[in-house]
Amino acid sequence: MLNEKKQPRGMIIVISAPSGAGKTTLVELLRKDFPDIYRSVSCTTRSERKGEAHGKDYIFVSDEKFKKMVENNEFAEWAEVHGNMYGTPKAALEESLAKGKDVLLDIDVQGAEKIRELYPNALFIFIMPPSIETLRKRLLSRQTENKDSLEIRLKQAVNEMRYHSSYNYTIVNEDLKKAELELKSIIKKEKKKSLL
């Protein structure tokens, strides 16, 4: 009888950052270079923004549906952020890991803490803005925030940045190309380690 080589489990890559730090852009660039990484699509109760697609960017659900999913223990992690609920569906995550696929979770610090409890060997990367002033300018340039929501997001950002030391790596996104290369380098290094 031949010994069947067991499929190695995939690696979970958690990337967190305050709004406006450039996380979404860096995640998209990373996925171009690592197309085999499965990007977990979060469920959310927030409204769909212009340019977003259901099932690609987020799975948009009602408050009632989200509550039912929480009751049924369908999330690996979930949290309330800026008055909306976000959650990582557990089934798709586990299915990808079992197939040996690496899974990218683009989640906030609350979600990262919950993932750390379930998957302590996950890779945690924090994207930091160069300064709060730079973050303010980036958020203003988006033109998606009114004055009140901008101040809320900035206060939240200061709070979130306190968690960066609990991550394996922190990348300061001052220069996008440099931050992209640093992120790719980290993934390559950690992939090599996981194969040893």
Pairing of the two strands 43-44 and 59-60? parallel
pLDDT at site 173: 93
Supply the DSSP string of 83-117, one letter for each residue: TEEEEEEHHHHHHHHHTT--EEEE--HHHHHHHHH
pLDDT at site 142: 67
pLDDT at site 82: 75
pLDDT at site 141: 72
Task: Give the three-class secondary structure for 74.
Answer: coil
pLDDT at site 24: 86
% of the chain with per-residue pLDDT over 70: 93
50: nearest Cα among 143, 128, 132, 126: 143
What's the rounded Cα separation, in Å, for the pair 127 and 161?
9
Q: Which H/E stretch holds residue 13?
A: strand 12-16
Non-local CB neighbours of 70 within 8 Å, separated by 6+ positions: 78, 87
Structure tokens at 134: 């730079």
pTM of the model: 0.84
Q: What average pLDDT does the structure give for the chain? A: 88
72 or 139, greater pLDDT: 72
For residues 19-41, give the mean pLDDT: 89
CATH 3.40.50.1460 fits 12-195, yes or no: no
Strands (E), 35-162: 38-39, 43-44, 59-60, 75-81, 84-89, 103-106, 123-128
Residue with tokens 């450039």: 22
What's the rounded Cα separation, in Å, for the pair 83 and 80?
6
What digits encode the pLDDT tens for the residues 42-84? 999 998 888 888 888 899 999 999 999 999 999 999 988 778 9
pLDDT at site 1: 46
Cα angle value 93/13/95 (rounded, 5°): 15
* For the chain, domain boundaries: 12-195
What's the rounded Cα separation, in Å, for the pair 55 and 61?
11
Residue with tokens 């499929």: 7
Structure tokens at 43: 């469920």
45 or 3, greater pLDDT: 45
What digits encode the pLDDT tens for the residues 92-138? 999 999 999 999 998 889 899 999 999 999 999 999 998 888 877 87
